[in-house]
Amino acid sequence: MNREAQLNKWIEQGNHRDRLNKAERETRIEDRARAEAEKLIVGNPAYARNHEWGLETRDGLHSYYRAAATLEHFLGDIKGKRILHAACRVGTFVHALNHEYGAQAHGSDANREYIQAGTNAGIANLHHSDARDIDAYGKPFDAIYTQNFIYTDYTAPSYNEEMLESAHKNLAPKGLLVFDWADSWHIADFIAHEGKTMAIGQTRWRVKFAHDDKYASLVVLQKMAAQRKGAAAKAIK
């Protein structure tokens, strides 16, 4: 079975399309968040044009189907699990994880307007922070999920390493970092080392899953303890 078929199987087995759509349908959270965001950008059409892509759309839910299915596959039942959606925008996936899955989910984003809009719409546990300055908000996370904050095109390599160090620090032992739309950053290395341990900057991870297709990359890393002196691991630079 190829990886895309495997992901689709996980989605179907967990009924994730229906569950995420149910969370949206019952609470109208996307409509509420969009309305609140529009209030914040009234009178600033340039801002609206440049940022409306960040508001969640039903067409964009496919990434969240994949994310929910992947989290459930590797964590088991995610009820009660502490999950952070980093770069969460207005937080609709955070809301779905809490409302439909019973997770203890938090969201963070560097855009203050997104966080304010989501909070005004009634989404709990949203925080304004940069991906390089993640906070555990009281207790380490079982998993951190993100889209679109690991880049190759316009960020310095150190940005990704700082983000990974921040995530590593705030994950529980053997916690998971799941990233989607990874811009193919070192995807060949991740695929080649699936099942093995890699050192990235000052952090160590076990590559649990790595997939790349025309839609997006999807990588699952498991936090590993600091490397012992004299031990060797594959390093990404």
Q: CATH number, domain at 83?
A: 3.40.50.150
Q: Where are the beta strands (DSSP E) in 37-103?
A: 82-86
Who contacts 56 (Cβ-Cβ below 8 Å, separation ≥6)? 30, 33, 34, 89, 90, 92, 93
Instruction: Give mean pLDDT, residues 191-218.
Output: 87
Q: How far apart are CA 204 and CA 85, in angstroms?
A: 21
- Of 15-24, 36-45, 200-209, minimum mean pLDDT range: 36-45
* pLDDT tens per residue, range 87-136: 888 888 999 999 999 999 999 998 888 899 889 989 999 999 987 788 88
Has residue 237 got a pLDDT over 60? no
Residue 79 pLDDT: 96
pLDDT at 31: 78
User: Residue 22: is its pLDDT beyond 70?
Assistant: yes
Q: Is the pLDDT of residue 185 over 90?
A: no
* Domain of 202, in residue numbers: 3-236
d(CA 211, CA 7): 10
Is pLDDT above 70 for 144? yes
